């Protein structure tokens, strides 16, 4: 059963609590305590009763109950309801909402002119984007057979917004059947396209293709550009999945052109965003970014996009930013998507957590990044199992940044076993461990072929290959790669790529014993990473600069760099970087001490 009180919604069966339509994480016992309080609201509940109800067959003390109550009050405080739990000394607790009461959602009164009962309330909940209420009410009211095709569509939409795509599939199947029986070919095709996408996300490509073919069959009998554009857009996704980006681009372009300025903002914006994505894959960076910015502007200027269509647009832009190493843009869009989810009552999906965790890892919020990627891995099993490999790649990068090398390598191995490329993170870890040749071989393998993954990440992979080539004394190849990347600023303008090429140039300069040039390139690389708040890489480069200054006997300069590096490293939660800072500080202190002793001896001799 689901309940609503104040800004909170409690889904007992789904074990979900929302505050202002955003999920609030609760420990299992704290959730059970809230459920018990809600069911027994308004009366005094003794401590013994609560202990028996929440900790059955477990021996615990009053302290456990006090901690759970304290944790629950902290959650209720988010909605200004911390005083709902009243402590009555010697008696127990009372969950009291005074003028408000926790009501089962289906018991609310319908508005004038609406049908009574759960279905009418569910429709109101959909209109208000109260997805948990809507899903619960549709579930409780569907057995009377009064659900229309639109109701089924909205029920499935609510489930998707709650991050339950697998549960939405059978509801959408019913919606398609109902629309087909009613002769609504356009509606049936649109829902079939949604089913196609959900099955692709679940790794069921054959079923996805079947639903796409069914949608195309319905669309062929219509003269309806938006429906035809939906089919073309989904076919473009399939072409990209099959490794044909040129065909994907052509299909997305046809989809966009067919609905441009025809009052079909949703498919117009999404097809334009995907056209931009495919243009980026094929090297047209400026055109691709322009398409995606235009698509975002279209979406933001419209109030007609449903949350799933808008989510597809956001996710596409986010994915592109991550894959191309455009971290400043990725950060902006992940924040924007989180705000969008909060405003539209959507549950953050596993894919969203995956996007955000990689951005946080780059920016150095390693503890939060690790928590999010672990949550993403749990959610992706049902959300989008095809991307579990990518999540393991990101997990590897976060573990490597923290300093958990073995855990990082295990995550990279899982990514590779799942058919995902673990580069460039795995190669950089191998390089740091002194396995430069293995790192080079791994990066070369990652560039073989013409998969959408390779095309998306080509610039960032080439930049890392240039760096490793310089480390392995493949100087001609390193210089050629640097020229290719630096000579195409319109194609690869990202600061991360320019930072990597500068670092490669620094390694080449060191090979020529040109320490001045090496320092200049390292400083440029550090500044570029700092410009996009890539703090992990910025600290790593500060340490390189400090070591080089130390070797050149610039003790004061080295001390300044390592001090700055350690301040940031302590904030990041990276044991590896902190240990490197401490080791270098000891070397500097030892050298400073030797200088002081030498100076004293010189004075004594004088």
CB burial class (10 A; 0-12, 13-18, 19+) of residue 54? buried
Q: How many domains does the chain have?
A: 1
Cα separation values, 6 from 81, 87, 119, 125, Å: 8, 20, 22, 15
Q: How far is the C-alpha of 469 from the C-alpha of 316, rounded, in Å?
A: 32
pLDDT at 115 > cutoff 50:
no
- Picking from 101-105, 160-164, 402-406, 531-535, which range would have the lowest pLDDT averaged per residue? 101-105
Q: Which is more confident, 378 or 214?
A: 214
In a domain, 90, yes or no: yes
Give me the domain span that covers residue 23: 2-105
The tokens describing 298, both together, are 């279209």
In a domain, 205, yes or no: no
The most confident of 29-43, 127-141, 311-325, by mean pLDDT = 29-43
Q: Which is more confident, 9 or 393?
A: 393
pLDDT at 172 > cutoff 70:
yes
In a domain, 33, yes or no: yes
List pLDDT tens digits, range 448-496.
Answer: 876 667 777 888 999 999 999 999 999 999 999 999 998 877 777 889 9
List pLDDT tens digits, range 274-315.
Answer: 999 999 888 888 899 899 989 988 877 766 677 888 888 888
List pLDDT tens digits, range 11-34.
Answer: 877 788 888 667 788 888 888 899
In a domain, 71, yes or no: yes
Q: In this predicted structure, what is the pLDDT of residue 228? A: 95
The most confident of 16-20, 64-68, 269-273, by mean pLDDT = 269-273
Q: How far is the C-alpha of 314 from the C-alpha of 334, rounded, in Å?
A: 8
In a domain, 32, yes or no: yes
Which residues lie across from 3 on neighbouring strands?
10, 104
Q: How far is the C-alpha of 394 from the C-alpha of 408, rounded, in Å?
A: 9
With cut-offs at 50, 70 and 90, classify the pLDDT of residue 101: very low
With cut-offs at 50, 70 and 90, classify the pLDDT of residue 109: very low
The tokens describing 138, both together, are 């549709």
Q: In this predicted structure, what is the pLDDT of residue 477? A: 96
Q: Could you give the angle at which helices 327-344 and 350-363 cross, rounded to 10 degrees? A: 140
Q: How far is the C-alpha of 276 from the C-alpha of 271, rounded, in Å?
A: 9
List pLDDT tens digits, range 335-371.
Answer: 777 777 766 677 677 787 888 898 889 888 898 899 9
From the centroid of its chain, how far is CA 102?
Answer: 34
Q: Is 11 helix (H, G, I), strand (E, B) or coil?
A: strand
**Average pLDDT of span 49-75:** 82
pLDDT at 107 > cutoff 60:
no
Q: How far is the C-alpha of 422 from the C-alpha of 414, rounded, in Å?
A: 9
Q: Angle at the Cα of 568 (from 562 to 571), degrees rounded to 5?
A: 140
Cα separation values, 388 from 41, 239, 359, Å: 42, 21, 17
Q: In this predicted structure, what is the pLDDT of residue 595? A: 65
- Picking from 52-56, 253-257, 323-327, which range would have the lowest pLDDT averaged per residue? 323-327
Q: In this predicted structure, what is the pLDDT of residue 577? A: 93
DSSP string, 539-603: HHHHHHHHHHHHHTT-HHHHHHHHHHHHHHHHHHT-HHHHHHHHHHHHHHHHHHHHHHHHHHHHH
In a domain, 38, yes or no: yes
Q: How far is the C-alpha of 530 from the C-alpha of 536, rounded, in Å?
A: 9
pLDDT above 90 covers a percentage of the chain that reads 46
List pLDDT tens digits, range 498-524.
Answer: 999 999 999 999 999 999 999 999 999
Q: What CATH number is given to the structural domain containing 47?
A: 1.10.10.10
CB 338 within 8 A of CB 507: no
In a domain, 260, yes or no: no
Locus of tokens 């995606």 = 292
CB burial class (10 A; 0-12, 13-18, 19+) of residue 205? middle
CB 24 within 8 A of CB 18: yes
CB 456 within 8 A of CB 320: yes
Nearest to 129 by CA among 332, 341, 301, 292: 341
List pLDDT tens digits, range 529-544.
Answer: 999 889 999 999 999 9
pLDDT above 70 covers a percentage of the chain that reads 91
Q: In this predicted structure, what is the pLDDT of residue 604? A: 58
Q: In this predicted structure, what is the pLDDT of residue 178? A: 93
Nearest to 451 by CA among 286, 254, 244: 244
In a domain, 92, yes or no: yes
With cut-offs at 50, 70 and 90, classify the pLDDT of residue 105: very low
């Amino acid at each position: 059963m689901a309940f609503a009180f104040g800004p909170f919604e409690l889904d007992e069966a789904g074990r979900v609590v929302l505050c202002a339509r955003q999920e609030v994480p609760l420990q299992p016992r704290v959730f059970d305590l809230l459920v018990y309080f809600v069911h027994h609201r308004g009366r005094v509940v003794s401590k013994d009763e609560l202990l028996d109800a929440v900790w059955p067959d477990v021996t615990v003390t009053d302290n456990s109950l006090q901690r759970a109550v304290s944790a629950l009050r902290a959650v209720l405080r988010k909605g200004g309801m911390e005083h709902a739990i009243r402590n009555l000394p010697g008696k127990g607790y009372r969950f009291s909402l005074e003028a408000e009461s926790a009501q089962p959602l289906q018991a609310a009164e319908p508005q004038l002119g609406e049908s009574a009962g759960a279905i009418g309330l569910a429709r109101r909940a959909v209109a208000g984007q109260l997805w948990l209420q809507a899903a619960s009410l549709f579930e409780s009211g569907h057995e009377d057979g009064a659900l229309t095709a639109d109701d089924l569509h909205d029920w499935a939409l609510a489930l998707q917004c709650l991050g339950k795509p697998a549960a939405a599939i059978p509801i959408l199947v019913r919606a398609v059947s109902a629309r087909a029986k009613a002769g609504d070919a356009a509606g049936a095709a649109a829902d079939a396209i949604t089913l196609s996408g959900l099955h692709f996300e679940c790794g069921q490509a054959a079923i996805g293709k079947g639903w796409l073919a069914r949608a195309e069959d319905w669309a062929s009998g219509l003269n309806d550009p938006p429906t035809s554009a939906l089919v073309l857009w989904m076919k473009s996704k399939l072409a990209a999945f099959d490794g044909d980006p040129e065909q994907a681009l052509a299909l997305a372009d046809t989809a966009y052109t067919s609905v441009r300025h025809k009052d079909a903002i949703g498919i117009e914006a999404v097809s334009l965003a995907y056209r931009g994505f495919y243009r980026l894959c094929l090297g047209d960076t400026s055109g691709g970014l322009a398409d995606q910015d235009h698509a975002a502007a279209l979406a933001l200027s419209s109030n007609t996009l449903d949350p799933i269509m808008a989510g597809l647009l956001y996710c596409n832009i986010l994915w592109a930013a991550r894959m191309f190493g455009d971290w400043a843009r990725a950060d902006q869009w992940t924040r924007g998507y989180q705000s969008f989810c909060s405003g539209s009552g959507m549950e953050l999906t596993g894919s969203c957590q995956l996007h955000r965790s990689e951005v946080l890892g780059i920016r150095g919020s390693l503890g939060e990044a690790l928590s999010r990627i672990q949550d993403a891995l749990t959610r992706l099993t049902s959300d989008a199992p095809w991307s579990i490999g990518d999540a393991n790649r990101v997990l590897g990068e976060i573990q490597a940044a923290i300093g958990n090398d073995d855990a990082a390598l295990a995550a990279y191995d899982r990514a590779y076993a799942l058919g995902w490329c673990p580069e460039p993170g795995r190669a950089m870890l191998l390089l740091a461990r002194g396995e430069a040749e293995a790192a080079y071989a791994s990066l070369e393998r990652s560039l073989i072929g013409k998969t959408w993954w390779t095309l998306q990440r080509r610039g960032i992979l080439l930049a890392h290959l240039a760096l490793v080539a310089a480390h392995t004394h493949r100087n001609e190849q390193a210089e050629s790669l640097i020229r290719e990347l630096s000579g195409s600023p319109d194609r690869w303008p990202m600061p991360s790529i320019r930072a990597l090429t500068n670092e490669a140039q620094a390694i080449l300069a060191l090979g020529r014993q040109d320490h001045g040039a090496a320092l200049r390139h390292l400083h440029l690389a550090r500044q570029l990473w700092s410009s996009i708040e890539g703090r992990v890489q910025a600290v790593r480069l500060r340490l390189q600069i400090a070591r080089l200054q130390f070797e050149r006997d610039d003790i004061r300069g080295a001390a300044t760099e390592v001090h700055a590096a350690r301040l940031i490293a302590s904030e990041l939660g990276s044991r590896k970087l902190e240990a490197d800072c401490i080791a270098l500080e000891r070397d500097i202190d030892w050298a400073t001490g030797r200088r002081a002793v030498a100076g004293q001896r010189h004075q004594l001799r004088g």
